[in-house]
């Protein structure tokens, strides 16, 4: 498995640089590149990574593209609660995570993560799986953007079978959901986890190929939306609404997100884990949008699961 992990790591580092370069095109300010290592702590977990982060840029208020590779003797509770058979196994986890918050409220927040886990035990077969996906969190409702985003998500899945997109689109709708708010985080996209040879009958290489397809389609899905929206005029009230809605993003990441919980519980590098949080955010007490406004449309349609591709003809 060492050879496979080396190949996965090489792909993830290449993807990290590709996304970073695509983001840098919009900016005069440069990314901070922070290479870090962590010696084994009391929990026996060690690791290394590369954090690439831009804050308070011309277009992006925060844009992070992080790589990490951690190993340890015991899986954290967030993992063993989901997969109890992992308890007591040596593990390693590597992945890339990107979270992008733009200055302009017309530009959605986006998130992408692709990762690989392997858990080993002497005289037993290794347990391995892939996971990841990407999702979009708009502040102002543009149907054509939602349709385009899901068109590219489907394109990433199509070579692997007709059932893949609807399965992982539905999983994203269910995963990126805030039960205490009774709303989705945004318009979803793709989410998959525990992907191994038992899932669809794919071998290791096919599972890896799917991970790569998801990673490779992220910027083609997001970049054109940024290009279309980042120069649109906006008001101070629109900016205030963006900051208010960012609070939902914070709530989800700190309460429900598996990656955040795994990173914090495994003794990961806190600064890198929490780069997903926006620099500025507000909360209001019992705020409600006015009827008939774009903000109301966001709540009425965009924060509920939709079959966006079924609407494509209506928007042509």
Per-residue pLDDT tens for 82-110? 777 777 788 899 999 999 999 999 999 99
Query: Rounded to two decimals, what is the model's pTM?
Result: 0.93
* Separation of alpha carbons 27 and 11, rounded Å: 25
What is the number of domains present in the chain?
A: 1
Give the chain's count of helices (H) and strands (E).
Answer: 11, 9
Catalytic annotation on 150? no
Q: With a cut of 80, say whether residue 27 has pLDDT above it.
A: yes
Handedness of CA 174, 178, 181, 186 (dihedral sign): negative
Residues in Cβ contact with 217 at an 8 Å cutoff, skipping those fewer than 6 apart? 134, 152, 153, 155, 156
Q: Which tokens in the block code for residue 108?
A: 């959605």
The model's pLDDT over 126-135, given as tens digits with 9 standing for 90+, comes to 889 999 999 9
- What is the DSSP code string of 112-169? EEEEEEEEEETTEEEEEEEEEEEEEE-SS--HHHHHHHHHHHHHHHGGG-TTHHHHHH
Residue 225 has pLDDT above 50, yes or no: yes
Structural domain for 273, as ranges: 2-315
The helix or strand, by DSSP H or E, that contains position 280, with its residue range, turns out to be none
| In the predicted structure, residue 298 carries a pLDDT above the cut 90 | yes
What CATH number has the domain bearing residue 121? 3.40.1500.10
Q: Is the dihedral of CA 24, 29, 35, 41 positive or negative?
A: negative
How far apart are the C-alpha atoms of 208 and 70, rounded to whole Å? 19
φ/ψ (deg, to 5) at 218? -65, -55
Euclidean distance between CA atoms 160 and 241, whole angstroms:
39
Q: 């390693």: which residue's tokens?
A: 92
- Residues 67-77, mean pLDDT to the nearest whole number: 82
Q: Which of 74, 140, 157, 45 is nearest to 102 (CA)?
A: 140
Euclidean distance between CA atoms 247 and 236, whole angstroms? 17
The catalytic residue among 106, 111, 150, 217 is 111
Share of the chain above pLDDT 90, in %: 77
Q: How far apart are CA 66 and CA 272, in angstroms?
A: 7
- Mean pLDDT for the chain overall: 92
């Amino acid at each position: 498995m060492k050879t496979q992990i080396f190949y996965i790591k090489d792909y993830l580092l290449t993807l990290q640089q590709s996304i970073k370069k695509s983001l840098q095109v919009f900016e005069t300010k440069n990314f901070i590149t922070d290479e870090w290592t962590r010696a084994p702590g009391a929990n026996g977990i060690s690791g290394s990574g590369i954090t690439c982060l831009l804050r308070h840029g011309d277009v992006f208020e925060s844009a992070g593209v992080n790589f990490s590779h951690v190993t340890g003797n015991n899986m954290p509770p967030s993992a063993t609660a989901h997969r109890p058979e992992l308890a007591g196994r040596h593990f390693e986890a590597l992945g890339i995570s990107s979270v992008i918050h733009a200055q302009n409220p017309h530009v959605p927040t986006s998130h992408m993560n692709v990762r690989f886990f392997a858990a080993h035990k002497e005289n037993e077969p290794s347990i391995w799986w892939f996971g990841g996906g990407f999702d979009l969190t708009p502040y102002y409702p543009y149907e054509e953007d939602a349709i385009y985003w899901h068109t590219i998500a489907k394109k990433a899945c199509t070579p692997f079978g007709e059932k893949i997109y609807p399965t992982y689109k539905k999983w994203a709708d269910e995963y990126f959901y805030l039960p205490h708010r009774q709303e989705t985080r945004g318009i979803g996209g793709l989410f998959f986890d525990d992907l191994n040879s038992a899932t669809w009958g794919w071998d290791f290489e096919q599972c890896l190929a799917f991970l790569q397809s998801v990673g490779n389609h992220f910027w083609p899905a997001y970049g054109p939306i940024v290009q279309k929206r980042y120069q649109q005029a906006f008001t101070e009230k629109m900016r205030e609404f963006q900051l208010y809605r960012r609070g939902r993003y914070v709530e989800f990441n700190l309460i429900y997100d598996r990656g955040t919980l795994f990173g914090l519980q495994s003794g990961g590098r806190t600064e890198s884990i929490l780069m997903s949080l926006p620099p500025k955010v507000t909360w209001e007490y019992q705020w409600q949008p006015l009827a008939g406004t774009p903000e109301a449309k966001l709540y009425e349609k965009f924060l509920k699961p939709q079959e966006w591709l079924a609407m494509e003809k209506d928007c042509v």
